[in-house]
Amino acid sequence: MDAIETILTRKSVRQMMPDKEISKDEIMGLLEVAAKTASWSNSQPWEVFVVSGDSLVKINEIWREEMSEGIPDSRPDLTFPHREEWQQYKRYQDNVIGFGQSRKEYAEEMGIGEEEWMKMTLESLSNNYFSSALVILALHESATTYSHYDLGAFATNFMLAAEEMGYSTITAASIVFFADRIREVIDVPEDIKLVVGIGIGYADEDHPLNKPESPRNSPENSQDSLIRQLSFNQNSCICKSR
Ligand SMILES: Cc1cc2nc3c(=O)[nH]c(=O)nc-3n(C[C@H](O)[C@H](O)[C@H](O)COP(=O)(O)O)c2cc1C
């Protein structure tokens, strides 16, 4: 696969094949690639915890216990944004709503009732998407906004390398929902803050949870363009600015 094809092919997979293992060497190989990521002054701020085997079984047990009666309030190290926070900036909020709607519409089209869809979603969520391993990404508490930028780039490179090698991934805040309980299973220093997790495994290709695609705004569409202004020397094009 070339880089563009890999970027276009990757999507979040919310149902992996249970019982498929990924070895330490395979994960280490992907982390070696991700370590090539550019970072502010080459600070390489990423802190990585890899959870698999018995530790993953334990974390999944805890997740199922925490979510046995639905999704409770999470207890992450970082405060999670809620779509209400973006009401001042409609495009972000619309995209969040559009994500939920596209999944709902897919379920309706497939004749999957709301209750059944919720059940599948909760089962997937409370088993960390049946990932073969979790790669938990973290930063020191002194990390700057640019360290968060660097960590996101690291995550993306990790996911693309994984895609290229035939694995599937999902970046998910839900993997660090209960940061206090992760600390019961793995040794996380107090000054290291868990930011997000990447579930990696093998996609259950035919599972309905893996079918809907998250819609994207197009740079071509001047109404909700992600580009505020385009300006070229020749053939100058000024997009409508919001
Ligand atoms: C920081 C971050 C946190 C995310 N958390 C979750 C999550 O908790 N649960 C989930 O189902 N998807 C989560 N996602 C996946 C996004 O919903 C997904 O990337 C987006 O809808 C675009 O879809 P795609 O990855 O399939 O292209 C997260 C993605 C990012 C980058």
39 within 8 A of 220, measured Cβ to Cβ: no
Q: What is the mean pLDDT of residues 121-150?
A: 98
Instruction: List CB contacts of 115: < 8 A, sequence separation 6 or more.
Output: none
Bridge partners (DSSP) of residue 47 are 138
Atom 10 of ligand 1, residue of closest alpha carbon: 172
Report the pLDDT value the prediction gives residue 239, as an integer from 0 to 100. 52
For residue 144, count other CB atoms closer than 10 A to its CB. Answer: 12
Give me ligand 1 centre to Cα 151, in Å. 15
Ordered DSSP codes for 118-169: HHHHHHHHTTGGG-SEEEEEEEETT--HHHHHHHHHHHHHHHHHHHHTT-EE
Give me ligand 1 centre to Cα 231, in Å. 32
Return the ligand 1 atom nearest residue 129 CA: 11
Give me ligand 1 centre to Cα 230, in Å. 29
Atom 9 of ligand 1, residue of closest alpha carbon: 172
Half-sphere CA count of 28, side-chain side, radius 13 A = 3
Asked if the model's pLDDT at residue 241 lies above 60, the reply is no
Substitution candidate for ligand 1 out of 118, 131, 170, 177 with most atoms within 8 A of CB:
170
Q: Does domain 3-210 have CATH number 3.40.109.10?
A: yes
Report the pLDDT value the prediction gives residue 235, as an integer from 0 to 100. 57
Local structure of 4: helix, strand or coil:
helix
Helix (H) or strand (E) holding 198: strand 192-201
Asked if the model's pLDDT at residue 148 lies above 60, the reply is yes
Local structure of 67: helix, strand or coil:
coil
Question: Which one-letter DSSP state was computed for residue 75?
Answer: B
Q: How far apart are CA 102 and CA 132, in angstroms?
A: 27
What pLDDT digit, counting tens, does each position of 213-238 carry? 999 988 776 566 677 777 777 655 55
For residue 106, count other CB atoms closer than 10 A to its CB. Answer: 16
Report the pLDDT value the prediction gives residue 242, as an integer from 0 to 100. 44
Give me ligand 1 centre to Cα 131, in Å. 15
Per the prediction, the chain carries an average pLDDT of 92
Atom 13 of ligand 1, residue of closest alpha carbon: 172
Return the ligand 1 atom nearest residue 155 CA: 31
Report the pLDDT value the prediction gives residue 133, as an integer from 0 to 100. 98
Ligand 1, CB within 6 Å, residue ranges:
11-12, 14, 99, 170-174, 196, 214
Task: Give Cα 1 to chain centroid, integer Å.
Answer: 22
Q: What is the mean pLDDT of residues 104-119?
A: 96
N residues, the chain:
242
Q: What are phi and psi of 58, to 5 degrees?
A: -65, -45
Give me ligand 1 centre to Cα 80, in Å. 13
